[in-house]
């Protein structure tokens, strides 16, 4: 079966070879292209079949190359220029072919690729135009963002963002020279402006930090010199002032600032720990005084509510003298104890002030004069009312009655006030 199969293949090949080529007696090989024949070469050493087979294999190689070229062109794997160059190279081999086969078909297949390449070339041109316009828009946006960054003072993030924008710029397609140069000038100028301002800012910050370091070194040294002071009030006040100066000085270089703060704070801690210990000892000494004052508060608060103002005043004066003589109390008890004794004092003083207001001769005279004037006015209104009634003047009667009621109300209040002063 194998032999029969091989014979079949050989017969087919002979038929194909006979269709597109022939061999002369001297071994010259021809290929038919339409109505014409072209010499493709000579093969004198072999039989005609071997000669045709040799040049047919060359054709197969050309056909395979055309097939690959078709696949790559249709897939867009080559640029239009690369594809055109490859087609021209293969076509040149088909002008004076050295192969036997359907050369006309290969030429037609290559020609069929040219319109495809034309479409691809047009699409690439359109894509390039689109990319250029997108690049123009993006470069404008990059320049605008860079200018905004340059106008701001974001020293931490601005530099990183400008670096990212520069990397993006480099990946974008170039525009026509004038437009590209103009946008680049804007972008580059913004970067330069920002960089200079940033350097100036950090130079200024560095100078300020150096100045702050000098100030804080002085403050730390003074704080350490006060750490052992026992002049509690004056030294505590001075520490508060030193703290204000420390905050106003601003930050020093980070490592130095931390070390100076440890010294400054450490000195404060030593002083205030000693002061608190001393105050605690004093508070223990004053505890007995607080107990005495609590006993006096019991006496003072027993005076309320006041029933005899004169007796209450005498008793409170005695309590107040003993209160002062009792001495100081622990600091945490000063306010609550003082609040309780002040409440009693204010109650007695309020009653005293109220009594004085009621006995004020000038106010008493004014109250009596008001009562007298209101009574006279009421007498006159009553007389006028009788006349109006006699005359039958109802409207006037109504007005006089309303006025009379108002005056009598005022008289009642005035008489009560005068009675209080009396």
Query: How high is the pLDDT of residue 359?
Result: 67
Bridge partners for 42 per DSSP: 28
* Average pLDDT of span 66-79: 94
How does pLDDT run across 392-414, given as a tens digit for each residue? Answer: 888 888 888 888 888 787 788 77
Q: Where are the domains of the chain?
A: 11-126, 136-205, 207-281, 287-354, 361-421
Does the structure show a pLDDT above 50 at 14? no
Q: What is the pLDDT of residue 420?
A: 67
Mean pLDDT of the chain: 87
Cβ contact 43:54 at 8 Å = yes
| Integer angstrom CA distances of residue 140 from 4, 137, 180, 221 | 76, 5, 10, 57
> What is the reported pLDDT for 17?
55
Most confidently modeled of 178-192, 199-213, 397-411? 178-192
Confidence of residue 140 (pLDDT cuts 50, 70, 90): very high
pLDDT grade for 422, boundaries at 50, 70 and 90: low
Q: Is the pTM of this model over 0.75?
A: no
What pLDDT, on a 0 to 100 scale, did the predictor assign at position 279?
81
CB 101 within 8 A of CB 30: no
Per-residue pLDDT of 304-331, as tens digits, reads 888 888 888 898 899 899 988 888 888 8
Q: Read off the tokens for 298.
A: 């019991």
């Amino acid at each position: 079966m194998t032999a029969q199969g091989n014979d079949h293949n050989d017969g087919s090949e002979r038929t194909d070879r006979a269709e597109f080529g022939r061999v002369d007696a001297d071994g010259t090989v021809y290929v038919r292209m339409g109505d014409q024949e072209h010499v493709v070469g000579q093969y004198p050493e072999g039989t005609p079949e071997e000669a045709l087979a040799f040049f047919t294999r060359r054709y197969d190689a050309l056909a395979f190359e055309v097939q690959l070229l078709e696949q790559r062109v249709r897939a867009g794997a080559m640029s239009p220029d690369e594809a055109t160059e490859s087609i021209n190279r293969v076509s040149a081999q088909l002008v004076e072919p050295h192969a036997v086969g359907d050369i006309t078909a290969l030429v037609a297949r290559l020609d069929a690729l040219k319109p495809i390449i034309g479409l691809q070339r047009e699409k690439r041109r359109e894509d390039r135009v689109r990319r250029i316009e997108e690049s123009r828009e993006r470069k404008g946006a990059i320049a605008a963002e860079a200018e905004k960054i340059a106008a701001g003072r974001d020293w931490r993030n601005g530099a990183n963002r400008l670096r990212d924008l520069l990397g993006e710029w480099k990946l974008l397609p170039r525009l026509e020279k004038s437009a590209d140069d103009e946008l680049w000038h804007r972008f580059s100028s913004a970067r330069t402006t920002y960089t200079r301002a940033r350097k100036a800012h950090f130079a200024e910050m560095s100078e300020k930090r150096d100045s702050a370091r000098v100030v804080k070194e002085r403050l730390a040294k003074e704080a350490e010199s006060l750490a052992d002071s026992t002049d509690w009030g004056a030294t505590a006040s001075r520490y508060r002032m030193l703290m204000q100066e420390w905050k106003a000085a601003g930050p020093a270089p980070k490592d130095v600032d931390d070390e100076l703060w440890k010294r400054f704070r450490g000195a404060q801690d030593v002083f205030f720990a000693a002061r608190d210990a001393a105050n605690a000892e004093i508070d223990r000494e004053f505890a007995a005084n607080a107990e005495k004052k609590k006993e006096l508060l019991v006496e003072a608060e027993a005076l309320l509510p006041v029933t005899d103002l004169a007796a209450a005043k005498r008793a409170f004066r005695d309590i107040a003298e003993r209160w002062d003589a009792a001495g100081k109390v622990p600091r945490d008890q000063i306010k609550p104890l003082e609040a309780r004794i002040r409440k009693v004092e204010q109650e007695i003083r309020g009653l005293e002030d109220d009594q004085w207001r009621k006995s004020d001769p000038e106010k008493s005279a004014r109250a009596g004069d008001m009562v007298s004037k209101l009574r006279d006015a009421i007498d006159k209104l009553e007389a006028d009312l009788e006349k109006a009634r006699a005359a039958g003047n109802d409207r006037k009667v109504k007005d006089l009655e309303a006025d009379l009621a108002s005056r009598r109300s005022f008289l009642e209040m005035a008489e009560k006030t005068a009675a209080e002063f009396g």
